[in-house]
A = this chain, B = another copy of it.
Amino acid sequence: MAERGRGWARAVRGLLLDVSGVLYDSGAGGGVPITGSVEAVRRIKASGLKLQLCTNETQATRQSFVRKLRALGFDISVAQVTAPAPAACHLLRERGLRPHLLVHHDLVPEFAEIDKTNPNCVVLGDAAENFTYANLNEAFRLLIGMEKPVLLSLGKGRYYKETDGLKLDVGAYMKALEYACDIQAEVVGKPSKRFFESALAELGVPAEQAIMIGDDIVNDVGGAQQCGMRALQVRTGKYR
């Protein structure tokens, strides 16, 4: 691709790829690769282009996420994945925040080293089945009881597609808590500028030499463009 591209493509040295809806359609049984995507990743790596996955996946640790991708046939390492939970841990430490977690059960190990006693913030991820009435009320009560409520949201997606249909994403629940508490969440993950900057640093390529490829016009395309990158929207995944 780099060798045969038109002018702008010649300058491309690295690709950031969204995962769900681009490499595979996620689903309860682990998901299904999108036709041609395993081969595409193989060819990108063979071409010498640098590759970093830039995902808002928060239903699993990076380790188990990579295990899943490898099982589907993608030759990817943990270092090649930029994800919101490690970014959130960095931010929590930096600011001395002790989170109450409303996240997917499988994401909890990412926060193992973080002090969670006497919480002074709430971290919200795509909690899926953990988005119960009781858990949402609990997170709300903690926030409304804080002098200055801090809500960190691991993404702000509206919805995503699983093999059994569309699902509300973390952004919808973020809006519910924002409205109830009259606050603004801080988004960790796409489309935040800081998150794309981390992904570029891990990719080792400057913004003008990288392209982001994703299926979400706001999180992927908008976020990347805000960082000075070019971006492509694929027509798989949630594209309608």
Contacts and interface: CB of A to CB of B under 8 A. Distances in A.
A172 B181 CA distance: 9
Interface stretch (A18-26, A35-43, A105-113, A159-167): A159-167
Given A140-B159, A159-B144, A180 B169 contact: yes
Given A171-B180, A173-B176, A176-B176, A140 B128 contact: no
A129 interface: yes
Contact of A166 (B137, B158, B166): B137
Interface in A138-180: 140-141, 144, 158-159, 165-169, 171-173, 175-180
Size bin of chain A's contact surface = 20 to 34
A165 B159 CA distance: 30
A201 interface: no
A16 B87 CA distance: 51
